[in-house]
């Protein structure tokens, strides 16, 4: 699918809005908002393809009403697969989020619904938000360039699209920006699939700091140094470490 960064921002905003409404729903509005949430993610190709990349039918079996879950999976793949299939099953078979899904999580109805959403829905939402953020990082600075997004196994490959085909590069203003974006692309492509969400968030934050400071006329050395150390702390394997070393070498003049 082709998409530019402005469109991605709109999708991210729409997703956060509908997800927050579901997470903060009450026992009366919950089921309707869950259906809206499901309709949105299934109607949005960039989100739906990401989810489907994790789904395995063996991760979910039909459940009785009022079933409480102490775990939704042992890893990212299992959690995404289970929650997505559970939401689909609930929308098709249940009528009330409290009586059918959340009753056992707390005594008072709205407290039970809140606890249910925090335990079951929120982790699923966080995975999708992290994925959209990762695509934004891979896109770079230019908001008008269209990109071809290809999702396989929950991993997004981002390439610049133009009339002559797909160009595996990022268009930016200035040679330095182009060089940095190439290094970031390389880094993102070496992130292990099983890396924790905490480490992924650290990578996201560090890259955004490096991007911002490298474009500044007066880069803040302490910020750049902190971002570099954040990347160096992550244990992502040999290829990831080599990609981090490339970024460290690039920003070295900012630290001099």
- Annotate 73-116 with three-state secondary structure: CCCHHHHHHHHHHHHHHHHHHCCCHHHHHHHHHCCCHHHHHHHH
Could you give the CA distance from residue 16 to residue 110 in angstroms, rounded to a whole number? Answer: 21
High-pLDDT (> 90) share of the chain, %: 52
Task: Please answer whether residues 125 and 133 qualify as being in contact, where contact means their C-beta atoms are separated by less than 8 angstroms.
Answer: no
What's the Cα-to-Cα distance from 212 to each of 131, 205, 215, 221, rounded to whole Å? 21, 11, 5, 12
146 CB neighbour count, 10 Å cutoff: 16
Q: Which of 64, 73, 95, 83 is nearest to 121 (CA)?
A: 83
Parse the chain into domains and list their residue ranges: 2-135, 172-255
pLDDT band of residue 8 (cuts 50, 70, 90) is confident
Mean pLDDT of 94-100: 96
| Unique residue bearing structure tokens 């793949």 | 77
Task: Please answer whether residues 110 and 99 qualify as being in contact, where contact means their C-beta atoms are separated by less than 8 angstroms.
Answer: no
33 CB neighbour count, 10 Å cutoff: 20
pLDDT tens for 181-223 read 889 888 988 988 888 888 888 898 889 889 888 888 888 888 8
The residue with greater pLDDT, 82 or 147, is 82
Query: Given phi > 0 = left and psi -120 to 50 = alpha, else beta, which region is 65?
Result: beta
pLDDT at 38 exceeding the cut of 50: yes
pLDDT at 160 exceeding the cut of 80: no
Mean pLDDT of 99-114: 95
| Tokens describing residue 213 | 């400071």
What pLDDT, on a 0 to 100 scale, did the predictor assign at position 156?
A: 63
């Amino acid at each position: 699918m082709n998409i530019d960064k402005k469109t991605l921002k709109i999708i991210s905003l729409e997703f956060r809005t509908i997800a927050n409404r579901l997470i903060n729903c009450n026992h009366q509005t919950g089921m309707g908002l869950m259906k809206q949430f499901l309709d949105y993610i299934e109607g949005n190709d960039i989100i739906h393809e990401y989810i489907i990349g994790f789904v395995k039918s063996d991760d979910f079996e039909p459940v009785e009403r009022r079933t409480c879950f102490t775990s939704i999976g042992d890893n990212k793949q299992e959690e995404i697969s289970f929650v997505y299939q559970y939401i689909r099953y609930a929308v098709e078979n249940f009528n009330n989020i409290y009586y059918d899904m959340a009753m056992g999580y707390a005594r008072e109805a709205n407290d039970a619904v809140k606890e249910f959403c925090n335990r079951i829905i929120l982790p699923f939402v966080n995975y999708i938000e992290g994925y959209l953020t990762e695509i934004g990082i891979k896109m770079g600075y230019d908001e008008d360039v269209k990109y071809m997004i290809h999702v396989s196994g929950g991993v997004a490959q981002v390439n610049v699209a133009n009339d002559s085909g797909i160009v595996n590069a990022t268009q930016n203003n200035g040679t330095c920006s182009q060089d940095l974006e190439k290094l970031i692309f390389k880094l993102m492509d070496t992130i292990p699939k099983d890396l924790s969400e905490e480490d992924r968030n650290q990578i996201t934050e560090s890259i955004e700091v490096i991007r911002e400071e490298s474009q500044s006329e007066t880069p803040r050395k302490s910020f750049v140094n902190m971002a570099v150390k954040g990347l160096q702390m992550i244990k992502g394997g040999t290829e990831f470490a080599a990609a981090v070393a490339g970024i460290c070498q690039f920003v070295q003049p900012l630290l001099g």
